[in-house]
Chains A and B, each alone.
Chain A
C-alpha cells in the first residue's frame, strides 16, 4: 500500500480542495455533535480514502465512537454533514456497502457461529461466501459452536466476521481489541491486515497507540471532540521530540543541560536521564568529556508517552 497519503495542514477548517489520486470513501465535514451540555465532537472534519486504514486514536470520551456512530447513520450531527460512499449514511443502499464491528455489541448466545453468519449474509444483496467469511475472520473450527460458549477473542472474531458478511468496501471497527489478551489481539491484527490487503478501507478506533501504529496508514488523534494531531504513525511519534539517554556520569547536570538539542535532564539516583532530539551528538560530547561514563542506555519514548503528551498539551 502506498505511503504517500496527503495530510492537509489543517483539515479541521471544513471543506478541503480534493487531492487527486485518492478518493474519499467517507467524510465528516465540520461535524459538531452535542448531547445536551456535552460536546462529543467539535467542528471535526476528516476523510477516509479508498484502501486506507485510518485510526481514530484518543482516550475514553474523546469522541471516537461518536464519529463511528455518525458514519453509520445511527445518530445525526448537530451541525455539519456526513457522507459515506457519496451518500447519506442512512440510505439502505449505502449500508449494503459497509460493515461494522461495534464496541458494545453482543450477539445472541444461543445461535451458532454458522447461523449468525447465515443470518447476517441474508441482509446483503451481494454477500461474501460463507467460507470466505470464515477464512478471513479466522473462524475455522468454531462454526458449530454457540456464540455464548466462545472465548472473548473468538467472540470478537465472530463480530469481525459479521462485519464482513456483506463484502463491504468500508469497515468500521470500534475498539476491536479492547479487553483482549496479547495473543488474541495480535491474532485480530492479522485479520485486520488481511482486510486491507483485500483493498477494503478500514476505520479503526482505539485507545492503544501501539495498535494504531501497528495497523494504520494514518492516525488521527482526538481529544475532547477535537483533532489534536494527524499524520502517519511515524509523524505522530516524532511529534514527541527526542529520545531518552540514561547513564552514570561525573559531568555536572547543568553542563549536560546546556548541550545542544537537550530538552530535559533529571537525576535518578546516581544516573542522569536526558531527553534530547539528537542523542548521538549529546552522547559523543559526553563520552569525550567523561571517560568514566557507564551504564549507557538510549531509548525511544514509549508510545504511550507520546500519546499522553499529545492529548495533554491540547487540554492545557
Chain B
C-alpha cells in the first residue's frame, strides 16, 4: 500500500530526560499555583501544628506531643498531597480532555504519572521541612539531623501507596465530587490512625480497627523515628504499605483496561 512512510526517528535518552524534567517542572508549578492544593497539603498541617503542637507542648506522659505531631502531621500532609494530586488532579484533567491531548502526543503515560508522584514527593519534603522548622523554633522540640533524614525518607516513600489510592479514585470519581470524596476518605482515616492524637487516646474499638488501615502503618513508620511507635516489627508496616499499593494499582489497572476495552 502506497502510504507515506515515516523516517524512523530515534527517541533518545536525552529526549526522555528533557520531557520528564519539563513535565515535573510544570506539574510542580501547577500544584504550587493551585491555592486549594497548597492550602490542603502545606497550609493545614502548618496551621494544625501551630494550634495543637505549639500550644499543647509536653502535654502527655512520656510523650513529647510537639515532637509526635511533627511526624504525624507530616503523614497527614503527604496523604493529602498524594490523594488530591493523583485523585482530584487526574480526575479533573481527564474530564477536561487535557489527558487525552497528552495521550495523542508521543509523551509516555508513565511520564505523566511519574511527574505527579515526584511533585507529591517534593511537597512531602516541604511539609517535613516546615513542620521540623516550626517544631524546633516554636515547639521546643529537639530533633537530630539523622531523624530529619529518616523522617523525610519515610514521608517521601509513603507518597507511593497513597498515590496508588489516588489513581484508583481518579478513575471512579467525577472531578466535582473528587474533593468531597477525598476528604471523606482521608479525614476519618487520619483520625483513626493516630495522626491527630496518639492512638492510645482513641476508643478501644478504633484501636483494634486501626491496623487494617494503610494510614496506620504509615503513621507507625513515621512515629518510629522518634520512638513513639506501638510495639510491632517495622517490616510488617512496610509489607502492609507495599501490599496496599499493589492492591490499589491492581484495581486501578483492572478498571482502566476495562474502560479502554469499552472505548
Q: Are A108 and B30 in contact (CB under 8 A)?
A: yes
Q: List 5 A-B contacts (CB under 8 A).
A: A73-B104, A104-B97, A122-B18, A123-B105, A126-B9
A106: nearest residue on chain B (CB-CB)?
B96
Bound-complex Cα distance A217 to B2 (A): 21
A201: nearest residue on chain B (CB-CB)?
B4
Q: Are B19 and A122 in contact (CB under 8 A)?
A: yes
Q: Which residues of A contact B263 (CB under 8 A)?
A: 74-76
Q: Which residues of A contact B262 (CB under 8 A)?
A: 35
Q: Which residues of B contact A123 (CB under 8 A)?
A: 19, 102, 105-107
Kindly state whether residue A96 has any CB partner on chain B within 8 Å.
yes
Minimum distance in angstroms from A53 CB to a CB of chain B: 17
| A interface with B by C-beta (< 8 Å) | 18, 23-25, 27, 35, 50, 72-76, 83, 85-87, 92-98, 100, 102-108, 110-111, 115, 118-120, 122-126, 159, 162, 166, 169
Kindly state whether residue B6 has any CB partner on chain A within 8 Å.
yes
B261: nearest residue on chain A (CB-CB)?
A76
Q: Are B34 and A92 in contact (CB under 8 A)?
A: no
Known: A74-B263, A110-B34, A115-B29. A100 touches B104 (CB 8 A): yes
Partner of A105 from B11, B19, B29, B98 at Cβ < 8 Å: B98
Partner of B3 from A25, A76, A120 at Cβ < 8 Å: A25
The total of Cβ contacts below 8 Å across the A-B interface reads 115
Bound-complex Cα distance A97 to B100 (A): 17
B35: nearest residue on chain A (CB-CB)?
A110
Q: Which residues of A contact B1 (CB under 8 A)?
A: 18, 24, 83, 86
- With a 10 A CB-CB cut-off, give which of A73, A86, A94 has the most chain B CB atoms: A86
Interface string of B73-104 (1 = CB under 8 A from A): 00000000000000000000100111011111
Kindly state whether residue B204 has any CB partner on chain A within 8 Å.
no
Q: Are B104 and A72 in contact (CB under 8 A)?
A: yes
Q: Are A86 and B6 in contact (CB under 8 A)?
A: yes
Kindly state whether residue B243 has any CB partner on chain A within 8 Å.
no
Q: Which residues of B contact A100 (CB under 8 A)?
A: 101, 104-105
Kindly state whether residue B188 has any CB partner on chain A within 8 Å.
no
| B interface with A by C-beta (< 8 Å) | 1-6, 8-12, 15, 18-19, 22-23, 26, 29-30, 33-34, 93, 96-98, 100-108, 262-263
Known: A96-B106, A125-B9. A86 touches B100 (CB 8 A): no
Minimum distance in angstroms from B89 CB to a CB of chain A: 9
Q: Are A93 and B9 in contact (CB under 8 A)?
A: yes
A35: nearest residue on chain B (CB-CB)?
B262
Known: A96-B9, A102-B100. A110 touches B4 (CB 8 A): no
- With a 10 A CB-CB cut-off, give which of B5, B107, B108 has the most chain A CB atoms: B107
Q: Are A111 and B26 in contact (CB under 8 A)?
A: yes
Q: Are A106 and B34 in contact (CB under 8 A)?
A: no
Partner of A97 from B6, B33, B34, B103 at Cβ < 8 Å: B6
Q: Which residues of B contact A24 (CB under 8 A)?
A: 1-4
Bound-complex Cα distance A96 to B19 (A): 13
Q: Are B104 and A74 in contact (CB under 8 A)?
A: yes
Q: Are B29 and A95 in contact (CB under 8 A)?
A: no
